[in-house]
Structure 1
């Protein structure tokens, strides 16, 4: 558990003729009495929200209110690609009604930006045990375009991460689905900085101006899940592991899929998310949970991930060869 300390200005009383040895004994006791510890109280929060003046339960203390947050199958994690295991069952996904245009509500829920999704969009295949229907999507980000993804790849933290949350098709609410060890499937996508704006994200970026305050919400005009993620043919490379929700109560009922292909956003678009505010009015930045121990879990990779990695190595080899031939 991480302790947070608050220093106070103190004036030490005169020690008069007390011997130097006695001063050495007394001073630490006096100093200790003027330091106060603040371990966090109230609602859960991200590390970026915590101050001794505004105490809340930072990630290190989430388990004090939600015991599942101390479980052995927690998310997010750092994926070490060389330790992943190829799984032939991780075939391409089938995305149904992902092209469906809908008018949703986008909300600043005090911890993130969240959009409810009509339960028409479904996923199947991809090694999933059954069909899953979309429920909502939300995002995690850093500070003004800095590192902010929850999951990391070989230690690299991307600027932002998108989570599209699905539940098994026969469930009617997420709470019930979370009681099933395989009840929820989350698709995770990373973002990368681009030199140009991603026009497909304009409806979301524009809506952020109207939901800067916590609990603010507004209508999201004409958006589809498909427009927010890479083209379907570019979604064959991904990683899979068994984990949890990344916010309290940290329920371990999630099949995680993390796609290798990132989504481009301009620096201006990335920074727009940092203009939102937490409940306290503080700038909403650093909305990610630190990576959690793997605890012996195996991370699997799709065949596409291997092909992409091999292609990258091949291209690097060709580039190196061309470079050598040009210098000779």
Structure 2
């Protein structure tokens, strides 16, 4: 009889927990914590079953070069600000004053920064959400923006183009990235879920590659990568990666989920493209290379001319 009762109790617990909308990453699931893993996020929110979900795998040979994807204009990205950085139980997230804006780059209007957060693997292993030709980077940064006219993210998410997320990949480096010291140092104070601490003297510009290295990127329309999975995001994924040392990458794996387990594998698996077109800016780097080649040829021809 007991052998029949135990499975029934476990099934009941599963039903109660999952129907309550408790979502988690695969690494969080256990019998003590029977939450909705990514494959069951539709139980947490039905939007997660949509046809324009994120992240995706970008197959570079199938991307379409788009001349409208011009260089971005970053305003007040150099602005130093102070704020709060927190362990929200699923990731590290920091609020950003709405002074920093981004426009151009094929966006329909200007968008203001709201927050940034990260997704990572286990001790520097594969952990990015988006992949490029199947390659998964160690970590991924998302800087979340909303249209200028909105005052809160909830309202912006009701607009199909209300949110613009800039995504950046990280790569392993032999040396530490000094620009990331404020964040790495803050991680020691937010190891447990719901912990928060001050993030001082930082700018968005110092977290990302130099502006001249941000002309080559991919673009598609998708969703938030966590429930509620709202399909209201214009995604931009930059090719130029951000270097971090292994020690810096591993620091993120020292954080804890709500249940005290190590916060690792904080990424949603890639989702079906379902016919969506991924565009590529591509031209700026190629044009620069072509210009240098033409200049070199012109110089060589000039040197070969008789006096």
Fold equivalence (TM over 0.5): yes
The answer to whether the 8 A contact 1:91-1:303 is kept is no
Partner residue in 2 for 1:300? 279
- Residue by residue over 1:79-114, the C-alpha shift from the partner in whole angstroms, topping out at 9 and shown as x without a partner, is 000000000000000000000000010000000000
Partner residue in 2 for 1:262? 241
Partner residue in 2 for 1:191? 170
CA–CA separation in structure 1 for the residues paired with 2:10 and 2:113: 46
Of 91, 96, 99, the residue aligned with 1:117 is 96
The answer to whether the 8 A contact 1:260-1:305 is kept is no
User: Scaled by the length of structure 1, what TM-score is found?
Assistant: 0.82
The answer to whether the 8 A contact 1:104-1:115 is kept is yes
Greater than 4 Å deviation, 4+ residue runs = 33-40
Q: Unaligned regions of 5+ residues in structure 1, if any?
A: 1-9, 11-29, 315-328
Give runs of aligned pairs for residues 1-328 of structure 1, distance below 5 A: 41=18, 42=20, 43-304=22-283, 307=286
CA–CA separation in structure 2 for the residues paired with 1:44 and 1:80: 29
CA–CA separation in structure 1 for the residues paired with 2:143 and 2:224: 12
CA–CA separation in structure 2 for the residues paired with 1:118 and 1:223: 12
Task: Say if 1:305 and 1:252 are closer, same or farther in 2 by CA, change over 3 A.
Answer: farther
CA–CA separation in structure 2 for the residues paired with 1:301 and 1:150: 19
CA–CA separation in structure 1 for the residues paired with 2:34 and 2:87: 21
CA–CA separation in structure 2 for the residues paired with 1:173 and 1:36: 40
User: Scaled by the length of structure 2, what TM-score is found?
Assistant: 0.88
- Residue by residue over 1:236-290, the C-alpha shift from the partner in whole angstroms, topping out at 9 and shown as x without a partner, is 0000000000000000000000000000000000000000000000000000000
